[in-house]
Structure 1
Amino acid sequence: MTRHYRWLVACCVSAGLLAGCETAPVKAWQRGDLARTEMAWQPDPMESAFRDHVYTSKEGASGGVGTGGGGCGCY
């Protein structure tokens, strides 16, 4: 009896946790202050591209961001 009870409790808990994982898209007017352009991670794409270019140029390793290298440009 306790084995079936544990299984039932585990199923109910799993169903409850999975029910809270709904992915409803958020509309722009629902975001409030976060919808403003100055709140974006990269509000200016040209500036972020320039910063990435400068960082990878100064890094010296191949890839610059996310890949390792010895600083000599080799993989």
Structure 2
Amino acid sequence: MKTRQYLLSLLLYVTYFGISGCTAVQPWERGNLAKPHMALDANALHTSLSQHNYSSREGAAGGNSAEGGGCGCY
């Protein structure tokens, strides 16, 4: 019985803190979130080309496309 109360209170705290972390972003604040240094990948094109080259050289599945033969073609 005590374990059940513990789990229920833990679930309540996790839910409370999860909901309190959500907030509405005002239109004038969205510019701060759109800055380049806030992006997960600063240079997406360079990363994509690097992954393509790596998977082509390895001749194996690179995790983002089909297998290659080592020649760069798919």
Q: TM-score range by the shorter chain?
A: 0.3 to 0.5
What is the TM-score when the length of structure 1 is the normalising length?
Answer: 0.46
Larger radius of gyration: 1
Task: Give the structure-2-normalised TM-score.
Answer: 0.46
